[in-house]
Amino acid sequence: MRKQGFDYLKKITAVDYSSYLQLVYILYNTDNKKEEIVTVKLLPEKPEIDTVEHIYKAADWYERELSEMFGIKVNGRKAKRLLLEEWNGIDAPLRKSFIWDKDYRKSEDGKKIDV
């Protein structure tokens, strides 16, 4: 897509359809003002994909979000730090299987905070 002139990454997100996860890449060609949407299906049991950060620098933040919010492993990512510092980095809150009645915050020493 980059070679076809799509030089701007607008967004990467994911959708949980229960039986599979779908990644959605929204790309933009700044020369002819065209947008293209590329989708990729992943198995929910082991969602994993390679980074596109070496092609689109903006992918870094989106891929970090995919990791934390959807539990998708993005291979080859440079940044390992969590976006949400209080998050445990294990559970995926935007997945349909996520249980909302748990407390996921933790203190600096890694222990659960009672709220």
pLDDT, tens only, 65-94: 998 889 899 999 887 766 765 565 567 888
pTM: 0.80
CA distances to 51, 53, 55 from 35, in Å: 21, 19, 17
In this prediction, the residues of the chain whose per-residue pLDDT falls under 50 are 113-115
Region of residue 61 (phi > 0: left; psi between -120 and 50: alpha; otherwise: beta): alpha
Instruction: Output the DSSP codes for 25-47.
Output: EEEEETTTTEEEEEEEEE-SSS-
Q: What is the pLDDT of residue 5?
A: 96
Find out whether 89 and 72 touch, Cβ atoms under 8 Å: no
